[in-house]
Structure 1
């Protein structure tokens, strides 16, 4: 028996190494352009994994650390990795033989009236007693066509996709936290400019009221200044609402309640021009962005499913065997006469299945086409996101430069107005009028700075947030 069993194992191992049906996975060409449409900075900072550290902002660092630790999004992504790892482990187990050991004690009596009861000398033979058994069983599917291998390959690709999904979630989370934080800081800067503008409008209204009471100005002049003050009051009153919305967003991103989130605006200097970040070449996006690598892993998994579907057209061979002992007396259980065994292959060949296998194969091939189209679409979207962020940064920089020129000219005009007021050439209302443009420009610059930093976060997210493939 041992020689026959060993020979069966050798033959099945040789058969299992014969072939693997289905196409082998090949990564598609990215077809990325040579350069981005928008002007990318020739030099700039390289994104590291923890890219936000380059800004040397203690509050931002604390928020990012809190988000990475407590975000439900990352927790869910980690759970998906563990689930995919478990599926991969179960699939890999199918490549190995399965061995089960069991024992039994059965108290039985056969019927004397059954048509299957043996008869000897006209008397029915009835079996009555206790039977004890000890048995080991072996089962192993001979992977003749590579179905089990393709299943393991697909499970590995799904595990890779889950890991990359978690990396993409980390990129998106850290960029969103930074964008919300910088928006909050921009609102604080805007609040300072708004309060100065409101104070200026209040002074202008006092002067206008005094002149109106003295009969030296019209009702129209007074109401115009009153309306400007009311508008400034409305903007100041609306600012806490806008700040609360951003803080609520930050709290959700960092996995905490809004009431638990404490930020100090007074400790921050106004936002300046954000540092340039090197965008690199479009062809580098495959190494930069985990969502693109995830899309390729999903394509790999879909390709493996084609091989699994093709294997269903071929015979399935399974080697089964058992060895053990069976006896009515416990003391004789392990004796040679009580020994029993069986070993041999079983073959299953699909003859008629109503077109199921053809439909499954067609569906698997369609899934490959869908996954390939999804990758190409995601690649185009990634290129667009980088171009959008670069265009936003470039456009905002031009507007900031124009507003700085406006502020410089308006500040000079204000200086002249104050000088003339000191000499008695104009009234104080003329000074407050001259303050209108520089103060409004300061508010616009605060909003533009916020937009620049938001575009920086958008660029970080579009470039993959410092993530890179292992060894890349």
Structure 2
């Protein structure tokens, strides 16, 4: 009874002492975001949802995104990291509870007649021989006096959060990369059509130039100039399959399949991308999972400081065992065969060669490193949004200028055709007038692809709708 009271007293004392948790409590640092982005952001636009690509209504893009989410090795690896972190968290959480073990044993026993500890009776060694049977249960529990176990759980939970956010960031990056590659492929299809029209025009111009040269009405210089332009167009047409194959290979890799298995239906006339609301820089922390992941890693590093500080203080464990031991199996479960052992054990570090001090310094340095990493990632996030907005704004200005060029050159081509119909100019003048509008069509196809690439960049920079997912869950 005395021992039981002692144990209960220790437990009560430990419960009061457990209110002490060493180490700093985590506090999220200030984001220090500017009031607005440097580049002009549209005041209105589409709001990104979790499956943001659905807003474009492109069945092929939807199918590619679904394939990527299902088969991407990158996402599979991220999911495995979540399961590993969840397992670590489960194992760490178990340290809060007592550990109970049960066991049973049976065997023969004979003591040595020659051992130093062998008892001697009347000059003869006493040897014990017989069978033994045992049944026991043991319990062990660390009293978390200084919050070490609590901080371990806190760190493990933060690491689990970081792994989950890492997977979310991987999803955002993957879906944006798939869309960017797909839109590049579509832009190449438009460019190929414009380039083929340009090449056909150059071929007709060469035929006219050759006829005029054969008739003696043009010089060798005129013929070779047109021949060179046709050769340049032929080279561009010949290079397109290589460029298209590289984009197809990229799409296949992103969607987790071999390039030979990927089949896409060519579609033309890529439209202008819709405007996407960028919001305020201060919203990035809620919109980007990689920033939230960086904060979770900072949280885990902060909790590690408390674990390192607890190593300087004594640890107390309550241990106990209860069971039965008998030479006769029939009388094993009986009062005379009962045995038990219960009591606390205390461990106090006295000399460890500066190990605990070094560990504490290392954990504090990890906090500083994680804080610097967060600030660096925040600056990078702001830059990525600004870059995408500047790219969209700049490309839109160039597209507007190219559209004016296309309109003016189209009118010039109409005049040249009208004069050709009246016999005022030769067909070579018509093909010369086609040069600018056809080249402008190709340039516009390339610019449209650049605009969509910048749109994918902006989607990724804004977090790809991850924030909308969090709000939906919170509601």
TM-score, normalised relative to structure 1: 0.98
Q: Is the 8 A contact 2:7 2:343 kept in 1?
A: no
The 3-state SS of whatever aligns with 2:466 is coil
Query: 2:48 corresponds to which residue?
Result: 47
Q: Distance in 2 between matches of 1:259 and 1:374?
A: 41
Query: 1:461 corresponds to which residue?
Result: 460
Q: Is the 8 A contact 1:16 1:142 kept in 2?
A: no
- Per-residue CA shift, 1:432-465, capped at 9, x if unaligned? 0000000000000000000000000000000000
Query: 1:142 corresponds to which residue?
Result: 143
Cα deviation for residue 11 of structure 1 reads 2.5
In the alignment, structure 1 residue 172 sits paired with structure 2 residue 173: yes
Cα deviation for residue 335 of structure 1 reads 0.8
Cα deviation for residue 119 of structure 1 reads 1.5
Q: Distance in 1 between matches of 2:311 and 2:356?
A: 6
Query: 1:133 corresponds to which residue?
Result: 134
Query: 2:94 corresponds to which residue?
Result: 93
Q: Distance in 2 between matches of 1:340 and 1:12?
A: 27
- Per-residue CA shift, 1:74-94, capped at 9, x if unaligned? 000000000000000000000
Query: 1:73 corresponds to which residue?
Result: 74
The 3-state SS of whatever aligns with 1:94 is helix
The 3-state SS of whatever aligns with 1:274 is coil
Q: Is the 8 A contact 2:312 2:349 kept in 1?
A: yes
- Per-residue CA shift, 1:129-157, capped at 9, x if unaligned? 11111000001011000000000000000
Q: Distance in 2 between matches of 1:412 and 1:139?
A: 91
Q: Distance in 2 between matches of 1:451 and 1:16?
A: 63
Which consecutive residues of structure 1, in runs of 5 or more, have no partner in the other structure? none
Aligned pair count? 470
Cα deviation for residue 121 of structure 1 reads 2.3
Q: Is the 8 A contact 1:104 1:134 kept in 2?
A: yes
Cα deviation for residue 120 of structure 1 reads 2.1
Inter-CA distance 15–349: structure 2 relative to 1 (3 Å threshold): farther
Greater mean alpha carbon deviation, residues 6-15 or residues 31-40 = 6-15
Q: Is the 8 A contact 1:323 1:342 kept in 2?
A: yes
Query: 2:270 corresponds to which residue?
Result: 271
Query: 1:226 corresponds to which residue?
Result: 227
Cα deviation for residue 3 of structure 1 reads 4.0
The 3-state SS of whatever aligns with 1:130 is strand
Map 1:55-66 → 2, pairs under 5 A:
55-66=56-67
Cα deviation for residue 8 of structure 1 reads 5.0
Q: Is the 8 A contact 1:154 1:302 kept in 2?
A: yes
Map 1:62-461 → 2, pairs under 5 A:
62-265=63-266, 268-461=267-460
Q: Is the 8 A contact 2:212 2:218 kept in 1?
A: yes
Q: Is the 8 A contact 2:186 2:268 kept in 1?
A: no
Q: Distance in 2 between matches of 1:153 and 1:240?
A: 54
- Per-residue CA shift, 1:382-434, capped at 9, x if unaligned? 00000000000000000000000000010010000001100111000000000
Q: Is the 8 A contact 1:12 1:142 kept in 2?
A: no
Q: Is the 8 A contact 1:15 1:142 kept in 2?
A: no
The 3-state SS of whatever aligns with 2:428 is helix
Cα deviation for residue 12 of structure 1 reads 5.5
Q: Distance in 1 between matches of 2:355 and 2:363?
A: 12
Q: Is the 8 A contact 1:117 1:124 kept in 2?
A: yes
Q: Is the 8 A contact 1:38 1:391 kept in 2?
A: yes
Q: Distance in 2 between matches of 1:433 and 1:449?
A: 25
Q: Distance in 1 between matches of 2:305 and 2:121?
A: 60
Alignment RMSD, CA only? 1.2
Q: Is the 8 A contact 1:97 1:140 kept in 2?
A: yes
Q: Is the 8 A contact 2:189 2:268 kept in 1?
A: no
Cα deviation for residue 471 of structure 1 reads 2.4
Cα deviation for residue 122 of structure 1 reads 2.1
The 3-state SS of whatever aligns with 1:255 is coil
Which consecutive residues of structure 2, in runs of 5 or more, have no partner in the other structure? none
Inter-CA distance 13–314: structure 2 relative to 1 (3 Å threshold): closer
The 3-state SS of whatever aligns with 1:324 is strand
The 3-state SS of whatever aligns with 1:74 is helix
The 3-state SS of whatever aligns with 2:102 is strand
Q: Distance in 1 between matches of 2:187 and 2:10?
A: 72
Q: Distance in 1 between matches of 2:17 and 2:226?
A: 90
Q: Is the 8 A contact 1:100 1:137 kept in 2?
A: yes
Greater mean alpha carbon deviation, residues 11-20 or residues 25-34 = 11-20
Cα deviation for residue 272 of structure 1 reads 1.8
Query: 1:471 corresponds to which residue?
Result: 474
Q: Distance in 1 between matches of 2:382 and 2:127?
A: 82
Which runs of at least 4 in structure 1 moved beyond 4 Å after TM superposition? none
Cα deviation for residue 67 of structure 1 reads 0.5
Q: Distance in 1 between matches of 2:250 and 2:409?
A: 37
